[in-house]
């Protein structure tokens, strides 16, 4: 039995044995209700709860806008996508099924000056 938050994080991070930076979570803005289960279970601090921008709100469906309004315009945000180790703890924890993992595409190299 785990007694502390540090024990929980240590145990969870041991199960996250994929290489970080290969995949990142994607938040379905029309499903997320900002309950922060993903924030609580992620041992690598990939998520935070943030207020939706006007641009993000404008892309929501009517139901998505209603959900955002009810929850104070706050939803999960992927703050540190390159820290994701693909353990899927966030996906399992999300009651709205608002998360999935996607491959990170390599950044284009900057042209030399």
Residues 1-42 pLDDT 10s: 334 444 444 445 556 777 888 899 999 999 999 999 999 999
The answer to whether position 62 is within a domain reads: yes
With contact defined as beta carbons under 8 Å apart, do 76 and 34 qualify?
yes
pLDDT at 105: 82
How confident is the prediction for the chain on average, in pLDDT? 85
With contact defined as beta carbons under 8 Å apart, do 90 and 42 qualify?
yes
Q: How far apart are CA 30 and CA 97, in angstroms?
A: 11
The answer to whether position 55 is within a domain reads: yes
The answer to whether position 28 is within a domain reads: no
With contact defined as beta carbons under 8 Å apart, do 27 and 59 qualify?
no
**Model's pTM, two decimal places?**
0.77
Integer angstrom CA distances of residue 32 from 26, 29, 62, 72: 11, 5, 14, 12
Total domains in the fold of the chain:
1
Q: What is the domain extent for residue 50?
A: 33-103
The answer to whether position 17 is within a domain reads: no
The answer to whether position 87 is within a domain reads: yes
Token pair 């979570």 is found at 25
The answer to whether position 11 is within a domain reads: no
CATH number for the domain spanning 76: value is 3.30.70.20
The answer to whether position 8 is within a domain reads: no
């Amino acid at each position: 039995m785990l007694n502390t938050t540090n024990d929980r994080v240590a145990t969870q991070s041991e199960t996250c044995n994929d290489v970080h930076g290969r995949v990142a979570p994607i938040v379905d803005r029309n499903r997320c209700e900002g309950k922060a289960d993903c924030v609580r279970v992620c041992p690598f601090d990939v998520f935070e709860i943030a207020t939706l921008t006007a641009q993000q709100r404008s892309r929501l469906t009517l139901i998505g806008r209603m959900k955002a309004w009810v929850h104070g315009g706050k939803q999960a945000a992927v703050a540190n996508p390159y820290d994701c180790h693909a353990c899927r703890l966030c996906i399992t924890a999300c009651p709205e099924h608002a998360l999935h993992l996607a491959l990170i595409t390599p950044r284009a190299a900057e042209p030399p000056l």
